[in-house]
Amino acid sequence: MDFKLPLNQPTSLLQIVWVLFISILLQSSIKAQTTGVVEKQKWLLEAQTGLSYSWADLGIVDNSLTLEQEPTFENAIKAQVLLGLNYSLTPNLFVGVSGGLGYLSFDNQVSGVTNRFTHFQIGPYLRYYFNITPLFSVFSELGMNQNVLNSNQNSSNSYVNAYTDLGLNLKVKPNMWLYLRLPNLIYYYSEDFNFENRNGFGVSNPLKNFIQFPIFGFTFQLQ
């Protein structure tokens, strides 16, 4: 279960975590390491995708849904594709922008209606890599997105979200990396009707999030 922090209550823990994360990024960028994922001032293309048949995705319709209600739904599928462009400020510190679309669909056995959702998002991010070996690294990413969610059963909704994600990165070629993403360690959503079924500020288990909605991607260096 996610730990959510209401907007009208103190968020000291969340603020401390964000300050520590930003401090690490700033200190690392100042040091400007001479070795890292790539050389500084390089451009990289990125693509990622996610796919899930998890019942947890159905919570997007109504936050009151519980697992006991799942027999009333069937044929659930959730998918997402994002494309990104990165620029290496230092060998380990990247700035980038990504955009893409998502899709969610399921059948309601009670009403006989098929619910469909399309999701569009775009936004910037800052990512830092921590080298473990010459081939393996982990990263932390801080970003923000503008989102639009359309539905055949609900009114369209526009919202903003901010996030801190974690990731595991493997170098498979001199100019190519594969990674998996552990999303929403820390998050903020301006509206509770959204593609991730979250609301306000919160801290969640990124491994559990990955199991419910696995996200994989690759990065390719252009230069």
Q: For residue 39, which of 96, 98, 92, 77 has the smallest C-alpha distance? A: 92
| CA–CA separation, 98 and 27 (whole Å) | 25
The Cα–Cα gap between 162 and 143 comes to: 6
Alpha-carbon gap, residue 164 to 209, rounded angstroms: 13
Q: By C-alpha distance, which of 100, 75, 101, 97 is closest to 87?
A: 97
Compute CA distances 157 → 78, 191, 211, whole Å.
18, 8, 27
Domain ranges of the chain: 3-221
* Token output for 34: 């001479």
> Side chain identity at 82, as an amino acid letter?
L
Q: Residue-wise pLDDT tens for the chain (223 aa)?
A: 454 444 444 445 555 665 666 566 555 545 444 467 888 899 999 999 998 876 655 555 544 455 455 556 677 888 999 999 999 999 999 999 999 999 988 887 777 788 888 999 999 999 999 988 889 999 999 999 999 999 887 778 899 999 999 999 999 999 999 999 999 999 999 987 788 878 889 998 888 888 888 999 999 999 7
Measure CA of the first residue to CA of the last residue in the chain; give whole Å. Answer: 43
Q: Contact 131/171 with Cβ under 8 angstroms? A: no
* pTM score of the predicted model: 0.77
Q: Determine the Cα–Cα distance for residues 140 and 54; give it in Å rounded to an integer.
A: 25
The second-level CATH assignment, the architecture, of 3-221 is Beta Barrel (2.40)
